[in-house]
Amino acid sequence: MFRWIHRPARRSADGIIDSRELAADRGLHLLSIVIPARNEERCIAATVEHLHLELEMRNVPHEIVVVDDASSDSTFSVLKKLQTKIAQLVVIKNEGPHGFGRAVIRGVDAMTGDAVVIMMADESDDCRDVVRYWDLLNEGYDCVFGSRFMRGGGVIDYPRVKLFINRVANLFVRTVFGFRLNDTTNAFKAYRKSVIDGCRPLISPHFNITVEMPLKAITRGYSWVSVPVTWRNRRAGMSKMKLKEMGSRYLFICLYILLEKFLSRGDYRKNQTFTA
């Protein structure tokens, strides 16, 4: 398996220590999977059932937190029925304000695990990769970023216009921030809870949360690894992402984090103590 690895070192009284080694001392006990869902009555049951089965087979301790974000169909009732069969399923109704990013934040606020995977509701992400993420977090990485566009990854039935815009947007992010991660916009990522807490406040109300979380994690000095994943276009329902609405939102969050990177003097970096 091919993967990019980034392990920022940190100096201690004994010299340079790999931050991954430090993270490995903090064992993980429970994985939370946060799934925002809006009008996913045709997909959500299969997504949750297949994910739960895979994690059970692999002996991964887990909870599945699904946030119903203003669904106008039967998504919520499907989830409540499914909850009677899967004890690890937590169902949350986001009463508002709404938006993909707000649903993610609502989910990570409610989770009880010490690590989290953000996953889509439409089975576009492979549940087997969730197990790989868990294993890598337990190796000591702070973050695991799935890439559909590195060697070993792939996309199935990706609309050509969206694919072109995706590659341009990711090239822009790579160029501006100067790292090798080539699929920053992919929502399917994993974080230790300490990273989520260290990246607060999370401010993106919509799909730009998918950019805010990894960029803040990298900028604030958390270790990360990028691994190939496969993405499949949804087979039912409709995508909630509106490309014409997202350009300025992605740009805003990139500029916001660039200001932090160059002007904050490291005040928000991992394990950094501010002195006047």
Helix, strand, coil % over all residues of the chain, rounded to 5: 40, 20, 40
Instruction: Give the start-end residues of each E strand in the chain.
Output: 4-6, 9-12, 15-18, 31-37, 62-69, 89-94, 115-118, 143-147, 154-156, 189-192, 224-228, 230-232
According to DSSP, the β-strands at 15-18 and 9-12 are antiparallel
Distance CA 262, CA 66 (A): 36
Percent of the chain with pLDDT over 70: 84
- Are 121 and 66 within 8 A, CB to CB? yes
Bigger pLDDT: 119 or 266?
119
Would you place residue 257 in the very low, low, confident or very high pLDDT band (cuts 50, 70, 90)? Answer: very high
Q: What is the DSSP string of 142-207?
A: SEEEEESSSTT-EEES--HHHHHHHHHHHHHHHHHHT-----TT---EEEEHHHHHHTPPP---ST
Q: Taking all residues of the chain, what is their mean pLDDT, rounded to a whole number?
A: 88
Distance CA 137, CA 192 (A): 7
Q: Pick from 74, 83, 88, 78: which is nearest to 31 by CA?
A: 88
Residue 139, pLDDT above cutoff 50:
yes
Query: Can you give the pLDDT at residue 11?
Result: 38
According to DSSP, the β-strands at 189-192 and 89-94 are unpaired
Q: Tell me which DSSP letter residue 125 carries.
A: B
Average pLDDT over residues 10-23: 42
Q: What is the CA radius of gyration of the chain?
A: 18
Q: Pick from 90, 108, 106: which is nearest to 98 by CA?
A: 106
Where are the chain's structural domains? Answer: 19-263
As given in the structure block, the two tokens for residue 197 are: 């807490």
**Mind listing the pLDDT tens digit for each residue in 83-111?**
999 999 999 999 989 999 999 999 999 99
SS3 96: coil
Length of the chain: 276
Query: Can you give the pLDDT at residue 244?
Result: 59
**Mind listing the pLDDT tens digit for each residue in 228-241?**
999 988 666 555 55
Distance CA 16, CA 115 (A): 26
Distance CA 267, CA 233 (A): 40
Query: Can you give the pLDDT at residue 159?
Result: 85
**Mind listing the pLDDT tens digit for each residue in 26-80?**
689 999 999 999 999 999 999 999 999 999 999 999 999 999 999 999 999 999 9
Fold of 19-263: Spore Coat Polysaccharide Biosynthesis Protein SpsA; Chain A (3.90.550)
